[in-house]
Amino acid sequence: MSAEDLEKYEAEMELQLYREYRDVVGIFKYVVETDRRFYLCNQVDVKARTEADDVFFEVSMTDAWVWDMYRPARFAKNVKVLTFKDVNVEELAESDLQPPED
């Protein structure tokens, strides 16, 4: 497979992922961003934890969709993320549920 073929494949996968996002965003209540992933979910709980003077975050999500084009199944019933990086949680407003038109 050439570099051009690989780029074309990744571009097609990214477009397919965006289309899936556009189709499912309306069924979720929250957007959660971590340093490694972007999630949509209906329930989220973030807890700051301390261990040996280090602070990390434990993020628990229910009914989640994961933005990851390499994942064969993007829907997950329960997700738990542990991270030392920032976590961003936003509640989707009704107007946010409508993705931009193509």
Q: Strands 30-33, 38-51: parallel, antiparallel or unpaired by DSSP? A: antiparallel
pTM, to two decimals: 0.80
Helices (H) and strands (E) in the chain, counts: 1, 5
* Three-class DSSP category at 12: helix
Write down the pLDDT at residue 56: 95
Q: What are phi and psi of 73, to 5 degrees?
A: -125, 115
Q: Any idea which residue has 């807890």 for tokens?
A: 47
Map out the domains of the chain as residue ranges: 3-94
* Three-class DSSP category at 99: coil
pLDDT digits (tens, 9 = 90+) for 38-67: 999 999 999 999 988 899 999 999 999 999
